[in-house]
Structure 1
C-alpha cells in the first residue's frame, strides 16, 4: 500500500468520524430543542398567570392610592 493510499484511507476515516460527530450533534440539538419546547409549554401558562396577577395587583394598588392619596406621602 502506497503512502498516498494510506493518507486517503486516513482521510476517509476522519471524514466518517466527522460525519458521525455532526449527526450526533444534530441529534443532541434536536433533543435540546424538544426539551426547551416542553419546558416552555409547561412554564408559559404559569408565567401568564403570574403576569396577570401582578397586573391585577398593580391595578388594585393604583386604585387604592387614588382613593387614599394621603397614603402616598411618607409619615
Structure 2
C-alpha cells in the first residue's frame, strides 16, 4: 500500500504557505499583508521556515498517514 499522507500534507502546506497568495509575512508596508500577489526574499525565507516547521510537526510528531489501495 502507498502512503499518501506526506504527499498530501506537503501539497496543502505548499499551496497555503506560498508567499503573497493568501498572506505574506513580512509584507512590504505592513507586518502581514493579505492577497498582495507580491513577494520578497525575506518573505520567502520566513515562509520556508514556517513550512519546514509545520511539515515536521505533521509528518514526524503527529505521523499523518493516508493509505490507498
Greater strand percent: which structure?
A: 2
Shorter-chain TM-score: what band? Answer: 0.3 to 0.5
Higher relative contact order (CA 8 A, sep 6+): 2
TM-score under structure 2 length normalisation: 0.32
Which structure features the higher share of helix residues?
A: 1
